Structure 1
């Protein structure tokens, strides 16, 4: 385990700022829904709209925020735009959130 004297506080500050930036972008229910879908693989806009129930223009606005912050990337195929997660950090955080909040835990039997 590292001692406090071994830690570079400026590096930690930059890392903390990066983490705060990621958490700020994730702090929106629509963006979380979109990223949750994208953890399962690449999706086109229409599929994301159907899967999440997010309507235009909100869908485009949230995908733009994710793209501008480097969390997703796009691939065009004809008129279709496909989105995928571009940030390894975002993918890892989403995997933890998925495990904690999205998987169906085994339900406990009510006591009688």
Structure 2
């Protein structure tokens, strides 16, 4: 159980930064490239890339190269399920949220 608690703690640390959480919420909708994530977050490319590198290192996202661009997607199924739940609760447009 302690081992699983450590895995969970690492996941919670990864999503504890607001920018990473927003990036993961966007990726819960489907794959995106850095330009999409820049527009979605309002952050500069360098900052988005820094956060994507951290998420990749944590094993939560993976990149697929398509020509010169990379497309990022959620890769960890547990994280994907959790992010979909968080998205529904906190990220979805208010019209999509249940009261």
Q: Gapped runs of 5+ residues in structure 2?
A: none
* TM-score, L = length of structure 1: 0.80
* TM-score, L = length of structure 2: 0.90
Structure 2 counterpart of 1:8: none
Deviation at 1:97, TM superposition (A): 1.1
Q: 2:19 is matched with which residue: 17, 30, 51?
A: 30
Q: Runs in 1 of length 4+ with deviation above 6 angstroms? A: none
CA contact (8 A) 2:34 2:45 kept: no
Greater length-normalized contact order (CA 8 Å, ≥ 6 residues apart): 2
Structure 1 counterpart of 2:46: 57
Deviation at 1:106, TM superposition (A): 5.8
Deviation at 1:98, TM superposition (A): 1.4
Partner Cα separation in structure 2 for residue 77 and residue 100 of structure 1 = 32
Larger Rg: 1
Structure holding more helix per residue: 2
SS at match of 1:84: strand
CA contact (8 A) 2:35 2:45 kept: no
Q: 2:75 is matched with which residue: 82, 86, 99?
A: 86
Structure 2 counterpart of 1:20: 9
Partner Cα separation in structure 2 for residue 106 and residue 91 of structure 1 = 21
Identify if the C-alpha distance between structure 1 residues 14 and 50 changes in structure 2 by more than 3 Å, giving closer, same or farther. Answer: same
Identify if the C-alpha distance between structure 1 residues 106 and 86 changes in structure 2 by more than 3 Å, giving closer, same or farther. Answer: closer
Partner Cα separation in structure 1 for residue 18 and residue 63 of structure 2 = 21
May I ask how many residue pairs the two structures share in their alignment? 96
